[in-house]
Structure formats: C-alpha cells, structure tokens
Structure 1
Amino acid sequence: MTLLLPDRIWRDGALHADLVAEHDGKTLTAIRPRQPGDQGQQVALLMPACTDLQVNGSGGVMLNSDPTPEGLAAIVAAQRAVGTGWVMPTLITTSLDQMRQAIAATLAAWTRPGGLPGLAGLHIEGPYLNPARKGTHDAGFIRPFDPELPGLLAPLRAAGIPVMVTLAPERVDPADIRALHELGVVVSAGHTAATAEEARAGIAAGITCFTHLFNAMPQMESRAPGVIAAAINSDCHAGIIVDGHHVHWDMVALACRARPRAGRMFAVSDAMATIGGPDHFTLYGERIDVKDGKLVNAAGSLAGAHVTLLECLRNLVLKVGLPEAEAIAMCTDVPNAVIGQPSPALAPGMPLDLVLALDADWRRVPAG
C-alpha cells in the first residue's frame, strides 16, 4: 500500500488535518487517522473530483454537434481527465428535434449496462430565452415554450436522471415553470431581462436556480435591481463562471458574500469543445477560437468559456479570496445538492483518478 499524506482532506463537508489516505495505485483502500511514523507522498490537499453542471462540450465535441451517447461519453471522458469527475452535459438553444436526440442519448447512456460513469444528467439551456439577452445562442431557435417538453423529460426523471432547464422567466408562463418543477426538473433562470418582480414570480412558480449569474442579464442599478439582485437576495442556488473573463473577481466575491444563506453559490465552467480538444470549434456555423485564454467569435464577443472547474476552484481561493472550505464546496458539494445527488466522498473503492491531489498553489499533482 502507498500513503498520501495531505495537509488537509475534504471529507463530509469540512477540511480535516489529521487523516491520511492509503491506495494500491488504482483505488483508495483506506482513509484513516494519521499515525506517528507514516511516510508517503506529501500533498497540500486531497478532495474528490469536481462536479460541473454546465459543460457545453469538451474533447473536441459539442453536445449540439453530437447529441449521441458517444458524444456524451467523449465530453465526460475529456472532463474527467482535467479533474471534473461528474459532468452535466449542456445542450444550448436548438431545435426541438435535436432536443429529442439529446434526451434519448442521455437516457440510453444512463440505462445501458454499466451506465456512463461521470454522467450527472442533462442540462438544456434554452431555447426559451429572452432574445435581448441571447449571448452566443442562435436567435433563430429561440421560441415560446414547447408544450411537449415535460412529456419528453418525463422518462429521464422516471429513470432518476437529474435534469436542469434554463429559461427566461418573463418569457415562460408560470404554469409551465410549475409543470417542470413538479416533474423534478431543476428550473434555472438565465439569458433573461427579467425585473426583480418577474424573477420573484418565477421563483414562486418553481425556479430554484440561476444560470451563470451576471452573464446574459441586465446589471443591477440603484432603482432597477433586476434579476441579479433578486437572485442574490433569494434562497435559490446560483451558478457563476469563475474564469476572470465573464465576471470580475470583485463581483464574484460580492455575490458570494451577499447571499443570505450559505451554500447557495456554485461554480460552473461553461466549457466548450476546446477543453481537451483543439483551439477552435464551430457553433451555429461560426468559428469560435481560444484567444488570450478566452473563447471569442469573429466579432470578439465571449462564446462560452475555456476553463476547467479545477481552475475555477483555484481562482476562487487565490483571486476571489474565498475561504478554502467555501470554495471547495462550490465545486463539489453544492452542485451535487442542486441536482439532489449525494456528494461523492473520499472512501475505500474510489478510483484514484477521481481523487484530486493538489499542491500549495492549488494545482493538481499526480497521486501515487
């Protein structure tokens, strides 16, 4: 057996300084109290791999371009290689037919023998958005709520598959929001121009989350607080992109520290095909390139993100200045709570590639 001797271990929602991990080169075999004379690999932190609820693509694949079990598997595999062990692939605004394909692919991947380890569900972002806040989404696909959607999602929920739907509350009837919520779908507000009052009406109907806070939303003003203030003041969860391009560090800190209840903020990558893939891809027929660490279209506008959740974690600690435990939870426990799943815990039997060993600079080091 080989020992990992961390300064701290993330376990049961807290940092522990008195534990060590044993492994056989492939899996963890024990987590036990530190004993005098223990010798092994010194690391700063051990934690389970991250959970990301907004991954549009990875490994050269966009879910919109390949809504198949094979496309899902490629995205999950690429994310697992960079420290995200559980992934919610995200289909952005598209046709109803392609939504059907992604739903069928998710069901097939989840229910086949052995399932698809690392698949955390399906996130459908759009097409029920506000065109004025569409971002990189194709306005040609934005439309009123499809009445078929609850019926299409019902088989996923019946199979226990987490589902998230991002929509603009001012564009969707409260009854339709309620129908999704009652089905067990996580309804998230995003790409919206909602007023604070409209956002609160959406919350009353069943919205429990907000998608990439600050982005594709009108910004707060003293007499027009808007959807952002409604989100921050609410009890809902809110995802946020922590790459330094989408949201300034100070604004990330402000949102996290202003929430009335702890454990309601979580990080997302909004990753695209360039993670573990080439430095460009095509979306809606338009080339998107990595430039200076960010993804931009021909006009220079942001088009998703080129960041991993592990990098977001590092940013939360070193750039935003959050307490370590809060930052770790934002990339592990909180996103799992959003989708009603237990947080993966460091325990005997966990594959070593799902154990993150980090150095003092919050960078991954090989375990073993």
Structure 2
Amino acid sequence: MLIAADRIWLGGRLQTGLAIETDGQKVTACRPLGGDTPDAHVPLLMPGCTDLQVNGGGGVLLNTDPTVAGIEAIAAAHRKLGTARILPTLITDAPDVMEAATDAIIAAMGRPGIIGIHLEGPHISPRKRGTHDARFIRPLDARTMAVLRRLRRADVPVLLTLAPERADPALLREAAAMGVVLSAGHSMATAAEAQAALESGVTMFTHLYNAMPQMSSREPGMIAAAILSDAWCGLITDGIHVSPEMLQLTLNARPRPDRCFIVSDAMPTIGGPDHFNLYGMDIHVRDGALVNSEGSLAGAHIDMVTSIRRLVRMTGIAPERAIAMATDIPCAAMGLAPLRIAPGMPLIDLVALDDGLRLADIPGTGS
C-alpha cells in the first residue's frame, strides 16, 4: 500500500511531497510520491512519541505493580494514544519497591516501547515533595547507588530525578560516570546550588516550574539557572501545571531552543479509569487535573499527542517544533537514537495526525 502525506517527519523536520510504502506490518519504503497515485492519504505522519516520564497508564501504576506485566500494560496503553517509547517512572517509594521495579525493567527491556527507567525520587526535598510520600524520602545513598550500578551493568538507560542540594556531589559524579542521566527536580536548590549540580553531572531538569521555588527578582532559583543553561528541560504542557505564558517565556528564553522537551507525567487514568490509588489515597480526575487529598497535583491526565496539540494552541509555536519536543529531543536528552520513518519500521511505531493534530488512523492497518 502506498500512503501519501501532506507532511512527514523526516530528518528532524516536516517534509512535503513524500509517501510511505507498507506491507501492513512495517514500512517498506519512504520516498517521493512523484506522479504515483497513492492508495490512501493522511495529513501528517510522524514516528510515535517518546515520553521520559510515565508513571502509569491503562489503570496500572508502576509503584503498585512493579512487574513486567505492569510495565507492558502501561506501555500498551500509551502506544494506543501515539506514544511509541516510554521510560516507566517510579516515584518515591520504599527501597524494596525500587528494587522490584529494577528487576522488572531489566526483564522487560527489548519489549515494545520499553527504553529504560525513570527513578523520580526518593532523593528529593521534603519541602517540594508534591504528591510524593514523605515517609520514603531520603538522601542519595549506597542502596540506590547499588541499584544504579545493577541497571547500568544490564545496559538499561536510567534517568534519576533528585534534589541536588540533598546529594553528595561525589555520588552525583559517580552516578554520571556510570551513564546515569541526572535530573534536578522536586528541589529547593538555589541558582548557585543548581549551577554546582550542573558542574557535578546533572544534565536535565524535571518538569520545569513544578516542585521548584518560583523565580523572583532577587531569588532566581533553580528555574532561572535551568532556563539560562544548556541543560535539557522537561515541560508538562497540559495547561494546568504550567501557564501558557510561562511556557512561551521558557521557549523564547532558552539559549538552546532544542533543549526543551515534552513529558506527559501520565498516571493510570490515561487509557484507564478516572481514578486510582496512590499511597493509600484515592486520586480522581477533576476538570482535567489529578489532585490528591492534600490538594497537590498528582501527576497529569494527558498523553503526548494531546500535549503537542495543546502546546501549539497555547503558545503559537510551529507544529514542527512541538513534534521535535515529543520525538527527537527527548531521545537526544537520554543519548538515544530517535525513531526514524524508514524501511523496517514497525507500523505500531508510526503515528498519523489530522489537520488539527489529533490522532488519526493509518489507512489499511486498523490503527
């Protein structure tokens, strides 16, 4: 089957005049359409999104089901909504839960959509814990370092979110030397402390603006340090976690415009029921937000394709830039090769969007 598209994401940009050939299972060619008559047409084709912060999906939360089956269920729920690859994300929990998740992710590597793990905590600031349970918060320690060594020996990509002011710089350097991607988040760090963390191996900031001291004229804090740096910055673009104006300010202010990427911070409600349990508390979707009984945001109720569309609508940036923020840029932030539309690409990794940047069916595939 020959499928033409008005625009195809190829080589890091949207290109026109192209089509793909498919056998119904995979892409067999991506080439100029020329004078050929296509069997079908879509407005836009792109690789599936890559999401570096996925707490859950399909009714499953990694913290409560740290198993291979749980990880596969989360990945499958997001794949149906246009996300091809994820970092299943474990938020602050007991050490044995982290170790169970480590066992599961090592066993799950190589299965569709699984590209590593994101450990968000427990080495965070109690003052900026958000929905994370204070009982399990602790400084970066030998037990977590052992987990990191085990994951890296198994060649598992690892993203570790921590409060850098609560971590020994020597341990930060040791983790970075292993190949762990260190991200500052859930932190009270000052601008100076954030800068010192960048010099100790931190290369990323987790969901910028959220669970951080806010900027002021005399206390720029870690947010200003992040924006002015060359580090990678994740952003939740649901319009709830960060206002459109602050998103626009951030995208305009970065010295490297290619260093911001989208994360969903999705919870089990994506592709699942409208509620779930976290640390014994029921979390419900209310007006598009997930809030716990303490009034804190408890992750996000959004998928990556919706995040692209909302970012374009809220800020007016070009779709091309938003697509990059959901595909190539998060891969680069983790040191991974991006997905490419090329011969051999499974169709489950391919996404079609309509003119409104909404998920569309790929003709002839039933997806």
- Which residue matches 1:81? 80
Alignment-mate amino acid for residue 65 of structure 1:
T
Deviates more, 1:143-152 or 1:52-61: 143-152
| CA deviations over 1:202-240 (Å, ceiling 9, x no partner) | 111000000000000111101110000000001100101
CA distance in 2, matches of 1:294, 1:262: 28
* Shift in Å, 1:156: 1.9
Any idea what SS the aligned residue of 2:3 has? strand
Alignment-mate amino acid for residue 297 of structure 1:
N
Alignment-mate amino acid for residue 72 of structure 2:
A
- Which residue matches 2:23? 24
- Which residue matches 1:275? 270
The one of 282, 286, 294 equivalent to 2:289 is 294
- Which residue matches 2:5? 6
- Which residue matches 1:64? 63
CA distance in 2, matches of 1:77, 1:43: 24
Question: Is residue 199 of structure 2 the alignment partner of residue 198 of structure 1?
Answer: no
Any idea what SS the aligned residue of 1:22 has? strand
CA distance in 2, matches of 1:259, 1:363: 28
Question: Is residue 345 of structure 2 the alignment partner of residue 350 of structure 1?
Answer: yes
The 5-angstrom pairing of residues 150-165 of structure 1 reads 150-165=145-160
* Shift in Å, 1:46: 0.6
CA distance in 2, matches of 1:37, 1:123: 45
- Which residue matches 1:45? 44
- Which residue matches 1:94? 93
| CA deviations over 1:111-146 (Å, ceiling 9, x no partner) | xxxx31210100000111111110000011111222
Deviates more, 1:223-232 or 1:9-18: 9-18
- Which residue matches 1:305? 300
Alignment-mate amino acid for residue 284 of structure 2:
D
Q: Which residues of structure 2 form unaligned runs of 5+?
A: none
Alignment-mate amino acid for residue 308 of structure 2:
L
Question: Is residue 178 of structure 2 the alignment partner of residue 168 of structure 1?
Answer: no
Alignment-mate amino acid for residue 178 of structure 2:
L
What is the root-mean-square deviation of aligned Cα atoms in Å?
A: 1.1
Aligned length, in residue pairs: 363
Alignment-mate amino acid for residue 132 of structure 2:
H
Question: Is residue 134 of structure 2 the alignment partner of residue 134 of structure 1?
Answer: no
Alignment-mate amino acid for residue 168 of structure 1:
A
Any idea what SS the aligned residue of 1:179 has? helix
- Percent identity between the aligned chains? 53
Alignment-mate amino acid for residue 158 of structure 1:
R
* Shift in Å, 1:324: 2.1
CA distance in 2, matches of 1:188, 1:299: 26
CA distance in 1, matches of 2:92, 2:197: 20
| CA deviations over 1:273-324 (Å, ceiling 9, x no partner) | 1111111000000000011111112344311100001111111222221122
Any idea what SS the aligned residue of 1:281 has? strand
Indicate conservation of the 8 Å contact 1:62/1:273, yes or no. Answer: yes
Question: Is residue 104 of structure 2 the alignment partner of residue 105 of structure 1?
Answer: yes
Any idea what SS the aligned residue of 1:148 has? helix
The 5-angstrom pairing of residues 220-239 of structure 1 reads 220-239=215-234
CA distance in 2, matches of 1:135, 1:155: 29
Indicate conservation of the 8 Å contact 1:267/1:312, yes or no. Answer: yes
Any idea what SS the aligned residue of 2:336 has? coil
Indicate conservation of the 8 Å contact 1:59/1:75, yes or no. Answer: yes
Any idea what SS the aligned residue of 1:156 has? helix
Indicate conservation of the 8 Å contact 1:150/1:183, yes or no. Answer: no
Any idea what SS the aligned residue of 2:150 has? helix
TM-score (norm 1): 0.96
CA distance in 2, matches of 1:42, 1:306: 31
TM-score (norm 2): 0.97
Question: Is residue 326 of structure 2 the alignment partner of residue 337 of structure 1?
Answer: no
| CA deviations over 1:146-165 (Å, ceiling 9, x no partner) | 21222222232123211010
* Shift in Å, 1:6: 1.0
- Which residue matches 1:255? 250
